[in-house]
Amino acid sequence: MTTILVDQDLCTRCGICSIVCPMAIVEPADENTLPKVVDAKAGMCIQCGHCEVSCPSQALLLNIRPDEKVILPAGAGIIAPDDMSYYLRKRRSVRHYTKDPVPKEKIEQVLDIARYAASGGNGQPVQWIVVHDPEKVKKIAGLTVEWMKTLVNSSHPMSGYVPGLIAAWNGGKDVICRNAPHLLFATIPEGNPVNAVDAIIALTHFDIAAPAYGIGTCWAGFVAAASREYPPLKKALALPEGRAVAYAMMFGHPQYKVYGIPRRKPLEVTWQ
């Protein structure tokens, strides 16, 4: 299959597609030829699309589902620095949620944004499990506590920390999922350490995009650890064969609004 499709009437032979290709497989045009990827190098294409989206004249099309090409409208996605600054700095880890469920359609919209997160070699290894049923979220929280009970008086790093969490849970306080209505799990192929980083990047995209849709999030570290170590929780998640949980996130509609920006440690930068 031809790797790139080039419209000879639109191509200006500027050479940008060749320059931006991370795999250096796009041969630049000259007076007599258009940009191309020779068959011997076609297998090296990681389908990142840099060549296509960097073409000023829209002459080039990466030959991967070409019917899905999206033209970026003029000015789309441009955010003023001050707006971006306030948006990111006001982001909070939400630990109090309303009981109103987030519609599945809205969750899919945010996950669709997370599809565009960076990944090593553009491998896009992340798949998602959304626990939408609040009762199943409670069950997962309970299984996480059961896992914690196995750590008491063990050599596990969390051994001295979990008794307080267990006591709080037994007292009726959900310190695991914070009564969130939903959980999100990023899953990756087993045995690839690079993919774990890809999952965190994708989850960060979800975390950042969610507030724009009225969704609050909190990284679910206890659940993530249990889902990697506790067989009953793995079974409850019904993970596909050969996949593992990289991390988890609780989410739902925030019960409270944000009216300010808290302090943080001073910025520390080393210039070299």
Q: Give the model confidence (pLDDT) of 58-117 as tens digits.
A: 999 999 999 988 888 888 999 999 999 999 999 999 999 999 999 999 999 999 999 999
pLDDT tens digits for range 130-171? 999 999 999 999 999 999 999 999 999 999 999 999 999 999
pLDDT at residue 191, as a whole number: 87
Q: What is the set of domains in the chain, with CATH numbers?
A: 4-68 (3.30.70.20), 91-252 (3.40.109.10)
Neighbours of 22 (CB within 10 A): 11
Asked if 159 and 225 count as a contact pair (C-beta separation under 8 A), the reply is: no
Report if pTM > 0.95: no
